[in-house]
Chains A and B, each alone.
Chain A
Amino acid sequence: MSLMPDRAGRSYRRARPAQRRTAPAALAAPALLGFAFLLLPLIALLIRAPWSGMTRILSQQAVASALKLSLIAASLATVFSLLLGVPVAWVLARMQFPGRSGLRALVTVPLVLPPVVGGVALLSSLGRNGVLGRYLDQWFGVTLPFTTPAVVIAETFVAMPFLIVSVEGALRSSDQGLEEAARTLGASRLTVFRRVTLPAVGPSILAGSVLCWARAMGEFGATITFAGNFPGTTQTMPSLIYIALETDPDAAIALSLVLLVVAVLVLALLRDRWVRPGNTV
């Protein structure tokens, strides 16, 4: 953020009346403490980082395969979340049916559920002896635990609610008058969804996808519980960090920094590009 008004005419950001510059001590003191509490651990990561050994650590084979698996699995999880989550958000925002608010609460449960519990739930449903998993095994010979698809499933389960919440909020606050106008002009409901609704909430879908992807990248508990931990097939970056902490704490810190950089990049993208006033509905 530069202090100079930019030439694209967005100087309104600076043109607001001056804000108060002093805060009462009763607020300033806990606020400072809060800032320190949130930022100190992150700064500690930077201080403790083994800068000289960074290239040695990050060039290890296990790191490359874990990073690759994390990127692929998180991206696939985001794609599945989009395919399933956007329709879920639409149903929750646009349809009237009994039990809707209950259903809305239920689909967001994975948001607040401890991820390990999610992993146990996935094992009980899709594990080899799971409610559904036993039939997958008996009828198709498919078992999910210990496979890369299991990683994607675990990440989708945990991350999709982020997308649903984001898109559903946008749908509910978007102007339905446009949709009605399109309907009266003869467009089918699907056409309205494709040509009117989706473009209107596009930025929110993008923002939701980024959040969903970031959450999937960081997923640990459900993944290690449901998919296990093996280099190349199910060992993601967070699993590798957890394992590395026991043998090579320096490596764990170096790997954590990689994820921290990813997190910061995601936030930077979100702030500057996709959730700016005027861009969203």
Chain B
Amino acid sequence: MRRSAVYLLALGSAVVLATTACSSSKSDTPAAGSASTPSTTTSSTTSALTGTITVLAASSLTGTFTTLGKHFEAANPGTTVKLSFGASSALAQQINQGAPVDVFASAATKNMDQVTTTGGATKSTNFVKNVMEIAVPPSNPGHIATVADLGKSGVKLVLCQPQVPCGSTAATVFKNAKVTVKPVSLEADVKSTLTKVESGDADAGVVYVTDVLAAGRKVKGIEIPADQNASTEYPIAALTKAPNAAGAQAFVDYVLSATGQSVLTAGGFLAP
């Protein structure tokens, strides 16, 4: 009796060991029929579009793309936009591993290149630009005022890991400001970096301007001077193996349209 119980436990732990990492990308299917429907000014969406359009987008696009997805569904009844957000590097990896995806929106050209060089997409278009900002808890426990303050000892600084766009762009900021930092953690994507600041466990994080805006009162933003700041371009592409090719192109066109751009600039993004 007991022996078999121990075996069961042993088996269980072996499975746990073998399958250590689980996906952390958050997926979100926005409910159709949102009340706020913008005037449908998109040009290429007049033909009958149907079915599901699967979009993988950088973590920093979570808020704006959720809105864009709802607007797109409202403008094109019969379509469902399925969104999944994560680190651009992780999403590029998923696409290269053969995930059935229609559209990829990356937070850096580097991660889009990872997809285009393997034939996953033929052409990508830069649709927005984003700059960095320092996020601190509302009480600012680390007394952060400048980029140089982030290099002080004792400041609990959280960054994105270097292969994620927000990590590499933050690295450029520190290079520009000639500041050496010792972060306490390198997070998997920009949202988890922001979460550590929101919870108050970190004194500061370097995230996108758009994330500070989206976080509202949960964090305080400290602007980085233009001569120190760095930006990253966001490319978008309809993928060559898109299960819903027409839908993929229509969604890309929608993001690039004036309506799409107005949602993005309202979220703090800059024109490319």
| Tally of chain B residues near chain A (CB < 8 A) | 37
Interface digits, B9-21 against A, CB 8 Å rule (1 contact, 0 not)? Answer: 1110110111011
Interface residues of A in 220-267 (CB under 8 A from B): 220-221, 224, 227-231, 233-234, 237-238, 241-243, 245-247, 249, 256, 259-260, 262-264, 266-267
B200→A128 contact, CB < 8 A = yes
Chain B: minimal CB distance from A28 (Å): 21
Q: Does A88 contact B (CB under 8 A)?
A: no
Q: Does A86 contact B (CB under 8 A)?
A: no
Given contacts A246-B89, A247-B163, A275-B7, contact A214 B200 (CB under 8 A): no
Given contacts A123-B201, A246-B87, A275-B6, contact A228 B187 (CB under 8 A): yes
Rounded to whole angstroms, the CA-CA distance of A12 and B229 in the bound complex is 76
A270→B200 contact, CB < 8 A = no
A243→B20 contact, CB < 8 A = no
Report the stretch among A15-23, A165-173, A177-185 that lies at the interface: A165-173
Q: Does A90 contact B (CB under 8 A)?
A: no
Rounded to whole angstroms, the CA-CA distance of A217 and B16 in the bound complex is 10
A267→B10 contact, CB < 8 A = yes
Report the stretch among B47-55, B76-84, B118-126, B178-186 that lies at the interface: B178-186
Which secondary structure characterizes the binding site on chain A?
A: helix
Rounded to whole angstroms, the CA-CA distance of A241 and B23 in the bound complex is 12
Chain B: minimal CB distance from A235 (Å): 8
CB closest residue in chain B, given A128? B201
Q: Does B161 contact A (CB under 8 A)?
A: yes
Rounded to whole angstroms, the CA-CA distance of A211 and B161 in the bound complex is 32
Interface digits, B163-192 against A, CB 8 Å rule (1 contact, 0 not)? Answer: 110000000000000000001111110000
Given contacts A169-B2, A243-B161, A243-B188, contact A262 B201 (CB under 8 A): no
| Tally of chain A residues near chain B (CB < 8 A) | 54
Chain B: minimal CB distance from A165 (Å): 7
Q: Does B90 contact A (CB under 8 A)?
A: yes
Chain B: minimal CB distance from A108 (Å): 11
Rounded to whole angstroms, the CA-CA distance of A173 and B164 in the bound complex is 53
Residues from chain A with Cβ under 8 Å of B1 in the complex: 173
B199→A267 contact, CB < 8 A = no
Residues from chain A with Cβ under 8 Å of B226 in the complex: none
Chain A: minimal CB distance from B111 (Å): 9
B13→A211 contact, CB < 8 A = yes
A238→B21 contact, CB < 8 A = yes
Interface digits, A22-59 against B, CB 8 Å rule (1 contact, 0 not)? Answer: 00000000000000000001100000000000000000
Contact of A229 among B7, B89, B185, B200 (CB under 8 A): B185
Chain B: minimal CB distance from A168 (Å): 10
CB closest residue in chain A, given B7? A275
B20→A256 contact, CB < 8 A = yes
Residues from chain B with Cβ under 8 Å of A234 in the complex: 185
Residues from chain B with Cβ under 8 Å of A259 in the complex: 17-18, 20
Rounded to whole angstroms, the CA-CA distance of A128 and B156 in the bound complex is 11
B17→A262 contact, CB < 8 A = yes
Residues from chain A with Cβ under 8 Å of B248 in the complex: none
Residues from chain B with Cβ under 8 Å of A169 in the complex: 2, 5
Residues from chain B with Cβ under 8 Å of A218 in the complex: 13, 16-18, 20
Rounded to whole angstroms, the CA-CA distance of A193 and B200 in the bound complex is 45
CB closest residue in chain B, given A162? B9
Q: Does A277 contact B (CB under 8 A)?
A: yes
B199→A127 contact, CB < 8 A = yes
Chain B: minimal CB distance from A13 (Å): 14
Q: Does B93 contact A (CB under 8 A)?
A: yes
Residues from chain A with Cβ under 8 Å of B13 in the complex: 162, 211, 214-215, 218, 263, 266
Residues from chain B with Cβ under 8 Å of A264 in the complex: 14
CB closest residue in chain A, given B189? A246
CB closest residue in chain B, given A163? B9
Interface residues of B in 10-45 (CB under 8 A from A): 10-11, 13-14, 16-18, 20-22
11 A-B pairs within 8 Å (CB atoms) are namely A123-B199, A145-B201, A146-B202, A166-B9, A207-B6, A218-B18, A220-B20, A220-B21, A227-B185, A263-B17, A270-B6
Task: Given contacts A166-B6, A228-B186, A233-B184, list 7 more A-B pairs with CB under 8 A.
Answer: A128-B201, A129-B201, A143-B156, A146-B158, A229-B186, A247-B163, A280-B3
By a beta-carbon cutoff of 8 Å, the part of chain A in contact with chain B is: 41-42, 116, 123, 127-129, 143, 145-146, 162, 165-166, 169-170, 173, 204, 207, 211, 214-215, 217-218, 220-221, 224, 227-231, 233-234, 237-238, 241-243, 245-247, 249, 256, 259-260, 262-264, 266-267, 270, 275, 277, 280
